[in-house]
Amino acid sequence: MDLKLKIWRQSGPDAKGEFKEYPIQDISKDSSFLEMMDVLNEQLVSKGEEPVAFDHDCREGICGMCSLFINGRPHGPDDAITTCQLHMRKFHDGETVTIEPWRAKPFPIIKDLMVDRSAFDEIIQAGGFVSVSTGGVPDANAIPIKKVNADLAMDAAACIGCGACVAACKNASAMLFVSAKVSQFALLPQGRVEAKERVEKMVAKMDDIGFGNCTNTYACEAECPKEISVANIARMNREFFAAKVS
């Protein structure tokens, strides 16, 4: 299939960016979107042009490194997958594909389609952990945990930290990301010990970094490659409320 790619090029964080158009031919329907980008970059390099910078690593939908806002949607026109799992059969011959970086103040552009998501690490560092040191912990079966809670915690823990929630949200809010981590620990007895401090610190850090406010549009849930539920946001709101009134 042949495509017309409209790709955002920006040389650095403060540079002015613009769309550049690249026609590309003979792409197999069975190739993945990033393999299509590889082909483009191979062609650019052969012509002596600078390849398009974009983040990617595991290429199996788990590391959370790949991003891209494709035709108006984070991770492109398919549900519950990352860009690296997107396949070209989701596009039709002759289509114009617009590719932008994720845009949010806390995710500054590094180059082209690559953004800096260290804001997420900062939020985790603020409280996204259980304060236990190595060694000196009880036997794993010493604390029985209801299966339903363990499963819900796993649902929340499935977050890959890709930032699609922020990218999709019209407010660039990070609530789904933050609430997923808060929920995981809130649901488990190990995490309950520090539940109050955790939710307060993580929300404060999120606000401090400059993410937007949640207005319950649920675009985050619709675009999350791991289908993390907005029920986690509600749980975090409860946790926050409980922390503030206690």
Partner 1 sequence: MTKIDSKIPEGPLAEKWTNYKNHQNLVNPANKIKIDIIVVGTGLAGGAAAASLGEMGFNVKVFCIQDSPRRAHSIAAQGGINAAKNYPNDGDSVYRLFYDTVKGGDYRAREANVYRLAEVSNNIIDQCVAQGVPFAREYGGTLDNRSFGGALVSRTFYARGQTGQQLLLGAYSALSKEINKGSVELFTRREMLDLVKIDGKARGIIVRNLVTGKLERHSAHAVLVASGGYGNVFFLSTNAMTSNGGAAWRSYKRGAFFGNPSFVQIHPTCIPVHGDFQSKLTLMSESLRNDGRIWVPKKKEDAGKIQKGELRPTEIAEDDRDYYLERRYPAFGNLVPRDVASRAAKERCDAGFGVGTTGLAVYLDFKHAIGRLGKNVIEARYGNLFQMYEKIVDENPYETPMMIYPAIHYAMGGIWVDYELQTTVPGLFFGGEANFSDHGANRLGASALMQGLSDGYFVLPYTMQNYLADQITVPRYDINSKEFEQTEKDVQERIDKLISVKGDETVDSFHKRLGLIMWDNVGMARTKEGLEKAIKEISALRKEFYQRVKVPGDKSGMNVELEKALRVADFLELGELMARDALNRSESCGGHFREESKTPEGEALRDDENFTYVSAWEFKGNDVEPELHKEPLTYENIEVKQRNYKTA
Partner 2 sequence: MSNLLSLSSVAKKIWMSLMGLFLFTFLLVHLSLNLTMITSPDSGLFNEAAHFMGTNPFIQVFQWVLFAGFIVHIILGLILQVQNWMARPNAYKKKASSEQSFFSKYMIHTAVVIFVFLIIHFLNFFLVAKGLIGEIGEVTIDGVTMEDMAGLVFDLFANPAYVVFYIIALLFLGFHLDHGIQSAFQSLGLNHPKYTPCIKNAGRLLAIVITLGYVLIPLVIYFTK
Under a CB-based contact definition with an 8 Å cutoff, are residues 1 and 93 in contact?
Answer: yes
CA–CA dist 203, 186 (Å, integer): 14
Closest separation between CB of residue 244 and partner 2, Å?
7
CA–CA dist 173, 169 (Å, integer): 6
Count of alpha carbons within 13 angstroms of residue 63, beta-carbon side: 10
* CB-nearer residue toward partner 2: 58 or 192: 192
CA–CA dist 223, 159 (Å, integer): 12
* CB-nearer residue toward partner 1: 160 or 230: 160
> Of 187-246, which residues contact partner 2 (CB under 8 A)?
203-204, 206-207, 210-219, 222-223, 230-231, 233-241, 244
User: Quick one: what does residue 22 bind among partner 2, partner 1, none, with the CB cut-off 5 to 8 Å set by partner type?
Assistant: none
Nearest to 223 by CA among 60, 63, 81: 81
* CB-nearer residue toward partner 1: 25 or 245: 25
Closest separation between CB of residue 149 and partner 1, Å?
9
CA–CA dist 88, 109 (Å, integer): 26
Binding site for partner 2 (CB under 8 A): 8, 19, 69, 71-74, 98, 100, 103-106, 168, 170-173, 175, 203-204, 206-207, 210-219, 222-223, 230-231, 233-241, 244
